[in-house]
Structure 1
Amino acid sequence: MVTVDPKAAASAHQFTVVIDGVETAVHEGVLRCSGGGTVAVVAPGVLEVTRLQHVVVRGGGGGDVRFARCGYAGAEGCAVASFRRCGAVRVDGARGVAVRRCRSADVERAGAVAIRRCAGAARVRGAGELRVGRCREADVGGCADAAVARCRTARADGCGALALGRCGSADVTRCGAVRVDRCRDASVSGCGAVAVRRGKVSVVEALKPVSPPVYQQAKPVLAPPVEIMSK
């Protein structure tokens, strides 16, 4: 059921909202759903979604979407997507992403990403600036500038600058400048510069392969693992 609130803002931007598999176009007013959930345009190009069990919003390349207290919430092609106290969260192709107090988060192809206090896993692939804090598990890859702090387990692959702080176990591969601070057990392999402050880190640096004889295939030579411990 769609109810147009005369005080609700109208916008030239049109959102496509999929609720429990049913697709609806929304550009103004309030969409009220069974169970008390609402979808409302609160300002031009700004959509608020609250208390829906399964919802996906497609922004068509723009528009800001704010989710609160939803079960599964997804955003595709939105300018900015924010989530608060939701269950599973998924974002694809947003310039800005903010996730707070959700169960899990899965983000792909985003600009600036901030994820805090996820009870489960935070997975990010392809982000510019990434900040993850207080999640049970962080799994990041292909990020230009990433910082992960206070997570039980962390994995990072193919990132530029990476900072790890106060994590339990961490596994880092193929990253650029890596800084580790107060991690209980971390493994770093195939990375550039590694700086450690008060942590136990095993570093394995991949060396250049030795030139093979003719008709013989070479295998990369790895340096032996080195434990760096700093108090």
Structure 2
Amino acid sequence: MVAVEPKAAAHQFTVVIDGVETAVHEGVLRCSGGGTVAVVGPGVLEVTRLQHVVVRGGGGGDVRFSRCVYAAAEDCGAASFHRCGAVRADGARGVSVRRCRSADVARAGAVAIRRCAGAARVRGAGELRVGRCREADVGGCADAAVARCRAARADWCGALALGRCGSADVTRCGAVRVDRCRDASVSGCGAVAVRRGKVSVVEVHKPMAPPMYQQAEPVLAAPVEIMSK
């Protein structure tokens, strides 16, 4: 068992393992297959080697996942994932993902995603950094940077920086900076700065609608291609 301070009881996590729900605020929970759920400090939960696990709440506490097949954090303070399969985070203050197969993040503060073998999808974040993923799909982020991804899509972001991506499709963002992307399309955005690469810029004739993903695409003019070496 892991000793914790009495005040740590305020950080009570709801843990769902393979469909079975358990309340955890102290100690170590050992599961079949060698997986563990352990409170390692006041408001800090570590989850390792589980097949399917969802952690909720925790009174603003932090949760760390490693080597889980599927892991999800809902309404936690901060969530980190390392060497997991598919991961999901919703409503976390901060999210860190490293060397996982895929990531799905929504309603987060600061988000950092590195080396996803599959897709990294983010909807709603303050500061976002994505690097070395096969595919990045981001939307509704205040300040986003995507680098070294094979394919990138961005919609309704404030400031967006793209670096060394294969293909990129950007719509309805504020300030966009493109550096060394092989093929990028930018439409309905504010300022567009290109350092190197091939970028097609499409301007908007009509004012853009409020930032709602369900609305129709704006009416666009003919594309203008910018070549910069």
Fold-level similarity (TM above 0.5)? yes
**Could you give the per-residue CA deviations for residues 95-147 of structure 1, whole angstroms, max 9, x where no partner exists?**
00000000000000000000000000000000000000000000000000000
| Number of residue pairs aligned between Structure 1 and Structure 2 | 229
Worse-matched range after superposition: 187-196 or 216-225: 216-225
Alignment RMSD, CA only? 5.2
User: How far off is 1:223 after superposition?
Assistant: 3.1
Structure 2 regions of 5+ residues with no counterpart? none
Larger Rg: 1
The separation in 1 between residues aligned to 2:47 and 2:119, in whole angstroms, is: 23
User: How far off is 1:222 after superposition?
Assistant: 3.6
User: How far off is 1:6 after superposition?
Assistant: 13
The separation in 1 between residues aligned to 2:214 and 2:28, in whole angstroms, is: 69
TM-score under structure 2 length normalisation: 0.90
TM-score under structure 1 length normalisation: 0.90
Counterparts in 2 of 1:53 and 1:206: CA distance versus 1, 3 Å = same
Counterparts in 2 of 1:5 and 1:193: CA distance versus 1, 3 Å = closer
Kindly indicate whether the alpha-carbon contact (under 8 Å) linking 1:8 and 1:29 is maintained by their aligned counterparts in 2.
no
Structure 1 regions of 5+ residues with no counterpart? none
Counterparts in 2 of 1:52 and 1:199: CA distance versus 1, 3 Å = same
Kindly indicate whether the alpha-carbon contact (under 8 Å) linking 1:102 and 1:117 is maintained by their aligned counterparts in 2.
yes
**Could you give the per-residue CA deviations for residues 145-173 of structure 1, whole angstroms, max 9, x where no partner exists?**
00000000000000000000000000000
User: How far off is 1:229 after superposition?
Assistant: 1.0
1:212-227 equivalence runs, <5 A: 222-227=220-225
The separation in 1 between residues aligned to 2:211 and 2:6, in whole angstroms, is: 80
User: How far off is 1:207 after superposition?
Assistant: 2.1
Corresponding residue to 1:122 among 120, 129, 141: 120
Kindly indicate whether the alpha-carbon contact (under 8 Å) linking 1:8 and 1:42 is maintained by their aligned counterparts in 2.
no
Kindly indicate whether the alpha-carbon contact (under 8 Å) linking 1:8 and 1:30 is maintained by their aligned counterparts in 2.
no
The separation in 2 between residues aligned to 1:18 and 1:190, in whole angstroms, is: 43
* Identity across the alignment (%): 90
Counterparts in 2 of 1:211 and 1:101: CA distance versus 1, 3 Å = closer
